[in-house]
Amino acid sequence: MKQTAEVQDTRFDALKWAAAVVLVAVAVAGNVYFADQPMIYRVVGVVVLVVAALGIALTTSRGRELTSLAKNAKKEIQRVVWPTRQETFQTTAIVLGAVVIVGLLLWLIDMFFGWLVSTLIG
């Protein structure tokens, strides 16, 4: 029974995607057509149509997969052990120190080669 429902859902996915695309196209065309109207009305119209299109798109199988992915990503972010303020500061200081040292070494190498070339050329 569940498999039949999933097949019907995926059968209507193309229609749902078409409806979402049409809504976005109507939002764009309406924004251009009503260019002489106040901006707030056009913004509200575009936002309403895009939200409706997004709502329709999220009811498709791909949309449900995207929603599931977002929920799982949120759970994963909550499991991450974030560094403390001190660890962040120390890591940043190490990186900045390494950048300064490498920059100075590259500058010295450049100065040496510049001196070498000017000596050879005359």
Which residues does 34 contact at the CB level (< 8 Å), separation at least 6?
41, 42, 45
Q: Say if residue 33 is in the same domain as residue 66.
A: yes
DSSP string, 64-110: HHHHHHHHHHHHHHHH--PPPHHHHHHHHHHHHHHHHHHHHHHHHHH
Half-sphere exposure of 102 (CA within 13 A, CB side): 6
Q: What is the pLDDT of residue 12?
A: 87
Q: Say if residue 30 is in the same domain as residue 76.
A: yes
pTM tops 0.75: no
Residue 1 lies in a domain: no
Q: What is the pLDDT of residue 1?
A: 52
DSSP string, 24-72: HHHHHHHHHHTTTS-HHHHHHHHHHHHHHHHHHHTTSHHHHHHHHHHHH
Q: Say if residue 74 is in the same domain as residue 102.
A: no
Distance CA 32, CA 34 (A): 6
Q: Which domain holds residue 25?
A: 7-80
Q: Say if residue 99 is in the same domain as residue 54.
A: no
Q: Say if residue 74 is in the same domain as residue 108.
A: no
Q: Say if residue 41 is in the same domain as residue 75.
A: yes
Contact 53, 20 (CB under 8 A): yes
Map 64-77 to HEC letters.
Answer: HHHHHHHHHHHHHH
How confident is the prediction along the chain (122 residues), in pLDDT tens digits per residue?
Answer: 555 555 556 778 999 999 999 999 999 999 999 999 999 999 999 999 999 999 999 999 999 999 999 999 999 999 999 899 999 999 999 999 999 999 999 999 999 999 999 999 97
Q: Say if residue 61 is in the same domain as residue 23.
A: yes
Q: Say if residue 70 is in the same domain as residue 14.
A: yes
Residue 115 lies in a domain: yes
